[in-house]
């Protein structure tokens, strides 16, 4: 039996769809019963902050998709889950990590993921690690401003990003959770084309039939604005560092990870926009 955590999140919702479509036996871990019912699959209620609920939820689980929203608590939450998985006899864990995961990363998120990867690798459990780059779905956060003012705002300068569709990350997860290949491997996953934000804005203009421009601002200004809109300070600061990393060209690299796992090419930003255009109109 497979257990999908973060099942209501950006990757999890696609993973639930993939596993349903291929007729796999799985359960979703949810914090909220109503969200579990809405997923339309078997589910179990559990919370990474309540280890007892994990012990009950992991009973009879063989393969675990390990994913949660990024936060200061993430390493504690997922390292506890790894310990519970080990005690429950789980054979293989597939975590969502990030490309620069390392306990010595300059980015906090990179360090949190580094701690989780090290803990998993030392656990004796089977593992296959997914390190996806920036999600196309992040662009949904820009939808209100694209709709109202035809603008995308950021501090990315002309740094390119090989945006990845969460659909593809989930497709990789589905293969790793249901097959026997790739144990002990770490995959950096990216989209197939690296685009700058001005190029992304051009794509929006063409699809929406109205001008959309990218406005580059000092990173500090973008961070201050995110905080003013309610983003927790630590995450907003982290986001600022992340923009600087993108501006340096770090996110421009493309890899063959998705093709290696699924046998097909990654989806393009054009495909994502065609399917999600309504959200930006
Ligand atoms: N965004 C990017 O571009 C990017 C790039 C590389 C790596 N990543 C990594 O991708 C991962 C997922 O990030 P995301 O932003 O897409 O998050 P997400 O998967 O959308 O996170 C939300 C999910 O986490 C669940 N959750 C939150 N707290 C929980 C708890 N205490 N117990 C159980 N479940 C809990 C939520 O459940 P509820 O429905 O109950 O809230 C929801 O299913 C992170 O590790 C992030 O670092 C992201």
The residue behind tokens 């955590």 is: 5
| Among 195, 182, 191, CA closest to 258 | 191
Q: Give the other-Cβ count within 10 Å of 133's Cβ.
A: 25
Classify residue 171: in a domain, yes or no.
yes
Are 101 and 114 within 8 A, CB to CB?
A: yes
CATH number at residue 88: 3.40.50.720
Please report the atom of ligand 1 found closest to the CA of residue 112: 47
Tens of pLDDT, residues 226-251: 999 999 898 899 889 999 999 999 99
Residue 19 inside a domain? The answer is: yes
Ligand 1 mean position, distance from CA 224 (Å): 23
DSSP string over 224-256: HHHHHTT--HHHHHHHHHHHHHHHTTGGG---S
Distance of CA 165 from the midpoint of ligand 1 (Å): 15
Lowest mean pLDDT among 10-14, 74-78, 202-206, 227-231: 227-231
Q: Which residues pair with 44 in a beta bridge?
A: 29
pLDDT at 46: 98
Question: How far away, in angstroms, is 8 Cα from ligand 1 center?
Answer: 9
Closest approach atom of ligand 1 to CA 68 = 24
Neighbours of 131 (CB within 10 A): 21
Task: Write the residue with the smallest CA distance to atom 18 of ligand 1.
Answer: 9
- Structural domain count, the chain: 1
Assign 112 to helix, strand or coil. helix
Is 200 a domain residue?
Answer: no
Ligand 1 atom at minimum distance from 73 CA = 31
Regarding the beta carbon of 69 and ligand 1, being less than 6 Å apart is answered: yes
Domain region containing 175: 2-133+165-190+254-266
In a domain, 279, yes or no: no
What sign does the CA torsion over 256, 102, 58, 5 have? negative
| 219-229 average pLDDT score | 94
**Span 107-144, pLDDT tens digits:** 999 999 999 999 999 999 999 999 999 999 999 999 99
Residue 172 in domain:
yes
Is this prediction's pTM over 0.75?
A: yes
Sequence-separated (6 or more) residues with CB below 8 Å from residue 4: 12, 15, 16, 19, 26, 27, 28, 29, 65
Q: What are phi and psi of 32, to 5 degrees?
A: -125, 120
Arithmetic mean of pLDDT, 90-111: 96
Nearest Cα neighbor of 38 from 28, 46, 49 is: 28
CA–centroid distance, 118 to ligand 1, in Å, is 20
Distance CA 78, CA 212 (A): 39
| pLDDT number for residue 196 | 98
Instruction: Answer whether residue 197 shows pLDDT above 90.
Output: yes
Is 210 a domain residue? no
In a domain, 84, yes or no: yes
Q: What is the pLDDT of residue 235?
A: 84
């Amino acid at each position: 039996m497979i257990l999908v955590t973060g099942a209501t999140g950006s990757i999890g919702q696609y993973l639930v769809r993939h596993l349903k479509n291929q007729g796999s036996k799985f359960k979703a871990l949810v914090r909220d019963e109503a969200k579990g019912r809405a997923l339309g699959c078997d589910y179990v209620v559990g919370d990474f902050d309540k280890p007892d609920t994990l012990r009950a939820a992991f009973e009879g689980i063989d393969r675990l998709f390990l994913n949660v929203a990024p936060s200061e608590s993430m390493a504690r939450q997922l390292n506890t889950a790894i310990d519970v998985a080990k005690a429950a006899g789980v054979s293989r864990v597939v975590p969502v990590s990030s490309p620069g995961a390392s306990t010595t990363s300059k980015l906090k998120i990179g360090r949190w993921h580094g701690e989780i990867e090290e803990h998993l690798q030392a656990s004796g459990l089977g593992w296959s690690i997914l390190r996806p780059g920036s999600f196309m779905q992040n662009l949904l956060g820009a939808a209100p401003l694209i709709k109202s003012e035809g603008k995308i705002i950021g501090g990315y300068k002309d740094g390119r990003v090989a945006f990845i569709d969460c659909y593809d990350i989930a497709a990789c997860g589905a293969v790793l959770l249901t097959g026997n290949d790739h144990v002990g491997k770490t995959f950096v996953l990216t989209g197939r084309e690296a685009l700058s934000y001005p190029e992304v804005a051009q794509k929006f203009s063409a699809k929406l039939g109205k001008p959309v421009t990218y406005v580059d601002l000092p990173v500090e200004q973008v961070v201050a604005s995110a905080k003013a809109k309610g983003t927790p300070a630590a995450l907003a600061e982290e986001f600022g560092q992340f923009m600087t990393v993108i501006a340096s060209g770090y996110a421009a690299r493309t890899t063959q990870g998705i093709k290696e796992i699924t046998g097909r090419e990654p989806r393009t930003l054009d495909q994502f926009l065609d399917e999600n255009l309504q959200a930006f109109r």
